[in-house]
Chain A
Amino acid sequence: MSRFFATGSDSESETSSEEEPTPRAPAPAFTFSDEEEDTKRVVRSAKEKRYEDLMNTIKQIRNFKKIKDMSSMLSSFEDLMRAYTKAIPVINKEENGVTPRFYLRCLVELEDFISEVWEDREGRKNMSKNNSKSLSSLRQKLRKYNKDFEEDIAKFRENPDVADEDEEQPKSDADDDDGSDSSMDWDDDSDSSSSDSDDDIPGMSIRDRFLKSRTTGDKGDDEERKERKKERKEKDRKKARRDEEEDDDDEGPWVAVRGGVALPSEKPKMFPKDAEVDIPLVVKKLNEIVAARGKKRTDRREQIDLLHELQTIADQHHLGVAVDIKIKLAIISSIFDYNPKVSDVMKPEYWAKLLERISETLDLLMATPEITIGELVTDENENLEKPPYRIRGCVLTVVERLDEEFIKLLKECDPHSNEYVQRLTDEKRVANIIDKVQEFLERQKVPTDLCRIYLRKIEHLYYKFDPNVLKQKKGELPATEVTSVQIMDKLCKFIYDKDVTDRLRTRAILSHVYHHALHDNWFQARDLILMSHLQEAIQHSDPPTQILYNRTMAHLGLCAFRHANIKDAHNCLVDLMMTGKVKELLAQGLLPQRQHERSKEQEKVEKQRQMPFHMHINLELLECVYLVSAMLIEIPYMAAHEFDARRRMISKTFYQQLRSSERQSLVGPPESMREHVVAASKAMRNGNWALCKDLIINDKMNAKVWDLFYESDRVRGMLGRLIKEESLRTYLFTYSHVYDSISMDTLAKMFELDKPIVHSIISKMIINEELMASLDDPTQTVVMHRSEPSRLQSLALQLTDKVYNFVDSNERIFETKQGNFFLRGGNQGQFRQNYNRQDWNRQRRENRAY
């Protein structure tokens, strides 16, 4: 193309470029490809459009000519014919039906070229099959086609030098000025050799001559143009250098090459020396720089530097807050862009810079209330000159991105190193920034945005323990003191109310529950999780939310345990513990997989989901709590159902531990936490509560587990009491058959429990038909009823149970096939629910009682 335009006379092109500076203005200096140029164009007349189509195709053909790609040339030629037929109406209208010269020129050139190639037999032989085929068909087509223009072509050949400028030059210049300029520079540097080789073609050589003369004329002609060009040239050179650099990018020798030296030398070239720096100019420059964003050849590092430089210039000229913010936003996004891969981590120095920029920007935003900033403000709507300012941009996304980067940074660090701690200190700044944004958004009062920023804040808040909460609960702090629980309450409630996407609400609920559980607000946490009905739907949500759910359940379990709700604790934790993949479920590390290796992709994805170390939940504590809860439930149950055929396992994991220890021929003193719990379970089985308690609560276990609780003494006290109670139950289950009666006083003494508690426990057992006994009030004894079945009897009972099941399932089958024929009263329903062999007993009594 450049060669083509170059044929145009100098004066013409110059003046036109002088006359029409406006349409050129938005075109950025960094234009590399033609497509880019096209998108920049605004409104064009039909003629311009058609001509341009033609031009583009012609240009393509020329390029193909250079590389002798016949097949592409053929297709382009076909395109050209089509474009020309489309353009005919316009041509008829505008030029009275005279074929434009540039079109003719192309045809002529093409003809020459083809005949030349055709003549060159040697070359033709060497051509690929595809190419030679295309060549012959192209030749035929062209010959046929040219017949239509025979006259014109003949005329053209007579004097090819009469320039065709009058038709096409003005418009082409206006359109493509920049593009042609820059590519011209390229030609200057590198292309001369190739053009030389084409010299024997008449049209070409002339153009080359023109081109060269024009460039020289150019330089002499126009000051500003020269200036710009120089700059561009330098950039081009830089680009070239950069290209080289990019090849050995990873090693980073470019750090050494660049550095501070290049910067000052560039500075004066940002704007012409005498130009008046005002807002439109700066914005234009900014747009130019930003437009290169995301391109392959853009040096991201340089972009950042350029933007910084621009900012200093803007600062020097006091262009106002809005411009400042606008540039800062651009800097922030270019820093974000610095890493080409999303999964990679930012460099610390850029991270620091980023933090600074963002907080600066926010401070500015906060200080000037008359700024509107938003995604909805279009580029055209922007108002940077005077208040009320309007700027396009979104602080919220910036902060969200920042937060993500921060977490990535943390994950990359070794959690046991100093570096991690250092990084973690930045948390405060990030939280600060989030607070600022929150304040800023609260001013604007857009509920969806507020929801998002609140959730960000929640995510920084929910896992942190605030001792003030517990102090306040005990009344040590006044109720007016705002603790993190109150803040969470406020934020979460807002989200519950205003959120429209379900995801935010789900996450808010889970975080809220987590926070409550962390601060021992057991009832609130329980009610919230029950009311949310999340348990049913959680497996359909995204993995991060599921992870959060798992974390929440873990803490809920711990909280229940602290509140002595052993059953709830067990239920919360059982799902996590059963699989043996707690680590993965809580996203606290990857386990090696046995069956199949992870693919790289998968591993990457999973790594991204991991929690940063400071948010981890102590797995040993979790497991210990789970095992102890399982022990407290399972051991009495085992004792009560020793001969029961239908005994189920309550906790599989606990069973495994127990059995593996039983399998050992020689059991040493307990070392690990698990061994302690197993040994304690064995002691409890024999009703030896003192040993059991010693094994659960001792120095080793304290250090490993219990001291991790906030009020560990309270937990230990609770645990001791529960161990006693459950041991008592186990004892009664196991040894009741050797007693005829036991005095409750003795029991109380044996287990060091208060008598009312013993009474209450035994009463409960009697009422629930677990213990076949009754109390004798005057003597304060428990009188056992001999109802333990003999071996034969228990077998018979088991048999009836099985027969019973059989009948049940028969009925069920019949039901499903035929619909319900059985009128099942409450009685029969109860049969199924209670599997205890004493059921009958109980029911008869109830019937009698009422």
Chain B
Amino acid sequence: MSGSQKLHLTSKIMPYLDHHLILTLLEFLHANKIYGSETMLRAKLEVLSHTNLVDYMKDIYESLSCGTEDVIEQLSKRRNDVLKQLAESREEGVTIIDILSDKNVHTIMETTRDAKLLTNHLMKNTQFKWEYMDTVYKMAKIQYECGDYGGTSTFLYFYLLLMPPTDKNYLNVLWGKLASEILVQNWDVALEDLNKLREFIDNNSFGSSLQLLQQRTWLIHWSLFVFFNHTKGRDLIIDMFLYRPYYLNAIQTMCPHILRYLAAAVIINRSRRAALKDLVKVIQQESYAYKDPITEFLEHLYVNFDFEGARQKLHECDEVINSDFFLVACLEEFVENARLMIFETFCRIHQCISIGMLAEKLNMKPDAAECWIVNLIRQARLDAKIDSKLGYVVMGTPPLSPYEQLIEKIDTLSMRSDTLQALIERKVKEHRQESFMYG
């Protein structure tokens, strides 16, 4: 196993994902050419054998050119079976399909989202019966297996709208809905479903805490799809993983590898620097259980202040991110922010830095580094000057004199006392009025 393969989390993540979701990961790996093409195809076949995506399997057999006649025949037989199943289920659920294709129903579903209204309408205008709901569930499942995710999501949407959360299939349906939304890449809805599912899991007690933990672990993994694709995901991932103790616990006990994504999310999220401290604590705590270049980067930078080490790790991060399905999209952002972090820390410690050294630490060419710093200064994010003759950056951070410290403290003090006084006065006034009115 080569270095880059070692850093792969796909194998660690896979047990917590649905087969269809795994396929997307495998596709990515295949395209990335980290593993041999054949092994990839075989892996795909393995996964596919659990699904009903027969045509896809056939393709792979063909490209592997190892499909003997038996296999092909078996496949076509299975294909027929699947088709038959599909047709049967369609037949069974023909009324439902009719109902769903009814425009009125559609508009009600879209606009009101009110279960009562919808049931009333259905009961009056169509031959809807509650028994059909099981058929809906079954049909959705079959369609999902066959890869018709859009259809699945409409069915399940309908199901969720009508059924109360106490329904025995409710949890399964929620999972299915989330999966199909992810697979059709409808991120807004997926996020909604994710939240629904999370609430459901948090509010319902499962048989044992172990089961609960499992559900949460699954949710954590599935949510990665949403968080790294939705625009708001970057804030949400921090909120959910780091600041919800249940989920943080789940990560720490079940899947410390998720820390990579959490770390990456914190790094690229410039507005959430406050989370860094907490994150570093968690990373340190779990350092024996999980380590990868991204977490080590943070450790080097914020625990040991080892800039050289941080630089090396940043270099390694490049590779890791490039080969990671979730993170690949934010590579540039990541590198930019990581550099900024190094630089910021640097500035806080140093009063004078040579540009050459800085460039080296930032993995940049000296010219580019100078340009970068100039930009930073211009955007007023840095109080510094460049001494171009010596090639230094001189920080302009005069230390606070005790006098200033004093002033600042007293400043807020008076303000706080004022508000306190005002509040008390108001209270007293209210009290007086009351006693005046009643007494």
Q: Do A and B come from one complex?
A: yes
List chain B residues, Cβ under 8 A from A822. Answer: 419
Interface size on A, residues (CB 8 A): 45
List chain B residues, Cβ under 8 A from A840. Answer: 400, 405, 408-409
Q: Chain B nearest CB: distance from A190 CB in Å?
A: 71
CB pair A807–B305 under 8 Å, yes or no, is: no
CB pair B413–A804 under 8 Å, yes or no, is: yes
Closest to A849 in B: B344
CB pair A807–B420 under 8 Å, yes or no, is: yes
List chain B residues, Cβ under 8 A from A487. Answer: none
CB pair B401–A845 under 8 Å, yes or no, is: no
CB pair B352–A814 under 8 Å, yes or no, is: no
Q: How far is the CA of A767 from the CA of B306 in the complex (A)?
A: 13
Q: Is B349 an interface residue (CB 8 A)?
A: yes
CB pair B400–A767 under 8 Å, yes or no, is: no
Closest to A823 in B: B419
Q: Is A785 an interface residue (CB 8 A)?
A: yes
CB pair B405–A841 under 8 Å, yes or no, is: yes
List chain A residues, Cβ under 8 A from B423. Answer: 814, 818, 821
Q: How far is the CA of A814 from the CA of B421 in the complex (A)?
A: 10
Quick one: given A804-B413, A814-B424, A848-B383, are A785 and B399 in contact (CB under 8 Å)? yes
CB pair A767–B345 under 8 Å, yes or no, is: yes
Q: Is A191 an interface residue (CB 8 A)?
A: no
Quick one: given A772-B399, A797-B406, are A760 and B352 in contact (CB under 8 Å)? no
CB pair A787–B401 under 8 Å, yes or no, is: yes
Closest to B345 in A: A767
Closest to B289 in A: A523
Of the 9-residue stretches B65-73, B134-142, B389-397, which lies at the interface with chain A?
A: B389-397
Of the 9-residue stretches A106-114, A656-664, A774-782, which lies at the interface with chain B?
A: A774-782
Q: Is B410 an interface residue (CB 8 A)?
A: yes
Q: Chain A nearest CB: distance from B179 CB in Å?
A: 31
Contact pattern, B 252-282, Cβ under 8 Å of A = 1, otherwise 0? 0100000000000000001101100000000
Which of chain B's residues 350-376 have a Cβ closer than 8 Å to chain A?
A: 350-354, 357
Closest to B381 in A: A849
Q: How far is the CA of A198 from the CA of B392 in the complex (A)?
A: 129
Q: How far is the CA of A848 from the CA of B327 in the complex (A)?
A: 30
Query: Chain B CB within 10 Å — which of A774, A803, A804 has the most?
Result: A774
Which of chain A's residues 741-793 have a Cβ closer than 8 Å to chain B?
A: 756, 759-760, 763-764, 766-767, 772, 774-778, 783, 785-787, 789-790, 793
List chain B residues, Cβ under 8 A from A804. Answer: 409, 413
List chain A residues, Cβ under 8 A from B401. Answer: 787
Q: How far is the CA of A162 from the CA of B83 in the complex (A)?
A: 108
Q: Is A811 an interface residue (CB 8 A)?
A: yes
Among B289, B349, B353, B405, contact of A766 (Cβ-Cβ < 8 Å): B349
Q: Is A810 an interface residue (CB 8 A)?
A: yes
Q: How far is the CA of A26 from the CA of B426 in the complex (A)?
A: 91
CB pair B351–A767 under 8 Å, yes or no, is: no
Q: Is A268 an interface residue (CB 8 A)?
A: no
Q: Chain B nearest CB: distance from A672 CB in Å?
A: 37
Q: How far is the CA of A759 from the CA of B288 in the complex (A)?
A: 25
Q: Is B402 an interface residue (CB 8 A)?
A: yes
Q: Chain A nearest CB: distance from B204 CB in Å?
A: 23
Q: Is A826 an interface residue (CB 8 A)?
A: yes
CB pair B416–A811 under 8 Å, yes or no, is: yes
List chain A residues, Cβ under 8 A from B420. Answer: 807, 810-811, 814
Q: Is A531 an interface residue (CB 8 A)?
A: yes
Q: How far is the CA of A841 from the CA of B413 in the complex (A)?
A: 16
Q: Chain B nearest CB: distance from A421 CB in Å?
A: 40
Q: Is B308 an interface residue (CB 8 A)?
A: yes
List chain A residues, Cβ under 8 A from B402. Answer: 787, 789-790, 793-794, 796-797
Q: Is A844 an interface residue (CB 8 A)?
A: yes
Among B305, B408, B424, contact of A844 (Cβ-Cβ < 8 Å): B408
Q: Chain A nearest CB: distance from B248 CB in Å?
A: 13
Which of chain B's residues 296-335 have a Cβ closer than 8 Å to chain A?
A: 304-306, 308
Q: Is A448 an interface residue (CB 8 A)?
A: no
Q: Is A800 an interface residue (CB 8 A)?
A: yes
Ordered by A's residue number, 11 sampled pairs between the chains whose C-beta atoms are within 8 Å are A763-B305, A764-B305, A774-B349, A774-B350, A776-B352, A778-B352, A778-B354, A786-B399, A794-B402, A804-B409, A844-B400
Question: 13 new A-B pairs (CB below 8 Å) besides A778-B392, A804-B409?
Answer: A531-B253, A760-B306, A774-B395, A776-B352, A777-B354, A787-B399, A793-B402, A796-B402, A800-B406, A800-B409, A811-B420, A818-B427, A821-B423
Residues of chain B whose beta carbon lies under 8 Å from any beta carbon of chain A: 253, 270-271, 273-274, 288-289, 304-306, 308, 344-345, 348-354, 357, 381, 383, 390, 392, 395, 397, 399-403, 405-406, 408-410, 413, 416-417, 419-420, 423-424, 427
